[in-house]
Amino acid sequence: MFCYLDNNASTQPCPGMLEQITKIVQGKYANPSSPHSFAEEAKGALALARRQVASALGCNFGEVVFTSGGTEANGIALQAAPELGETVACSAVEHPSVSRCAIEKVKVSPEGFIDCEHLEEVVLKLRQWSPRVIVAVMYANNETGVLVDPFNKVSSICEKHGVHLHIDAVQAFGKVPLDINSLGADTLSISAHKAHGLKGVGALFIRDGFKPAPAFCGGSHEFGFRPGTENQIGILSLGYVSEKIQSKEYQDLLSQVKIRRDNLEDMLADISEVNGSREHRLDNTSNLYFPDVPDNDLLIDELQAAGVYVSGKSACSSGMPTPSRVLRAMYGDQSDRHEKSIRVSLSVYTTDEEIEYAAKTIRKVVEDLSNL
């Protein structure tokens, strides 16, 4: 059986999407920046996608900048901070595209929540060096699914100290409703391929009036923030999924995901523990600790041989010799959780049969490895 449970790394394209967007790309292939009326059609297709994304985020049309993905969206928001005289603080469990831009990391609890007292201390410290501070916090963690700021306290701290808030919502997009105004973000990034769109495209919400530096030099595309002829098919896919995730049909599918994830956890409860908060996390993610297995690489290999695809750490950091930074930040270096845990991530298209097969296979492989 083929059982793909690595949907926080990437998802299958939405059924029916490719047919629809390919037709548009084949018909409206002019450069949207050209001065003739044929270009207007391509421009119109991009504008529709921008409206669809703006509607999904609850922001204005002119606040959506298309990018090459979540990494670039985070980069535009943060990477020029030193040149602009800004300093960046982020939580200790951010994606590398955020954490590498930050000079201070804020502690997280074993549940995976940001420590708001520490955040406030860090903000006050940074304010002594630079009047302009950016706080960057992900909405949901890619490895554990935990909502890093579940009670929405970070935006109040940012408001109190007059600092800018960037939210990396790459994992949350398509899994929970995102409303820019209630989140209080000044910038926020999303990525299409985590929500059944295509790879290599995302968007950065930039609050009207805020001016990060452009990604690189070039033309005035994307309001000057992301030069280069637009990735039309990718952008159309992001528009398509932005509309899809707001539909009742999709929301009905989404409501089944938690039931399946919880069933999987129940079936494995005697041999595993859930890492991080069980209550405040994405419905599709389960980060499971198996205390009796010698090593999660072995577990992942054996599962793969049986057709079950899961991750040990985030896709962007696998291949690196160091184990999960996220679980280490949550549980400390003394814990072995970062060496004996796997991430199982479902999508709206995951079936009951797949969950049942995965649970049985995981149990068998864990029992075999525990007896080694």
User: How far apart are CB 192 and ligand PLP at their closest, in Å?
Assistant: 8
How far apart, in whole angstroms, are the C-alpha atoms of residue 275 and residue 293?
15
The DSSP annotation for 239-280 comes to: HHHHHHTTSHHHHHHHHHHHHHHHHHHHHTTTT-EE-S-SSS
User: How far apart are CB 9 and ligand PLP at their closest, in Å?
Assistant: 6
User: How far apart are CB 125 and ligand PLP at their closest, in Å?
Assistant: 25
User: How far apart are CB 202 and ligand PLP at their closest, in Å?
Assistant: 5
The Cα-based distances of 16 to 12, 13, 92, 195, 335 in angstroms read 11, 9, 39, 14, 45
User: How far apart are CB 328 and ligand PLP at their closest, in Å?
Assistant: 17
The DSSP annotation for 108-169 comes to: B-TTS-B-HHHHHHHHHHHHHH-SEEEEEEESB-TTT-BBSSTT--HHHHHHHHT-EEEEE-
Q: Which residue, 33, 7, 23, is CA-closest to 221?
A: 33
Closer CB to ligand PLP, residue 158 or residue 198? 198
Give the residue numbers marked as catalytic: 316
Closer CB to ligand PLP, residue 170 or residue 366? 170
Closer CB to ligand PLP, residue 143 or residue 302? 143
Angle, CA 73 vertex, CA 232 and CA 113 arms, to 5°: 135
Q: Nearest to ligand PLP by Cβ — which residue?
A: 70
Q: Is 287 helix (H, G, I), strand (E, B) or coil?
A: strand
Residues near ligand PLP (CB under 6 A) are: 69-71, 74, 95, 97, 138, 142, 168, 170-171, 191, 202, 314-316
Q: Are 146 and 140 in contact (CB under 8 A)?
A: yes
Two tokens at 143? 């490895």
Residue 84 has a CB neighbour count (10 Å cut-off) of 12
Residue with tokens 């160091």: 322
Closer CB to ligand PLP, residue 42 or residue 236? 236
How far apart, in whole angstroms, are the C-alpha atoms of residue 44 and residue 49?
9
Q: Is 49 helix (H, G, I), strand (E, B) or coil?
A: helix
Closer CB to ligand PLP, residue 168 or residue 222? 168
Closer CB to ligand PLP, residue 133 or residue 170? 170
User: How far apart are CB 71 and ligand PLP at their closest, in Å?
Assistant: 3
Q: Which residue, 203, 123, 113, is CA-closest to 162?
A: 123
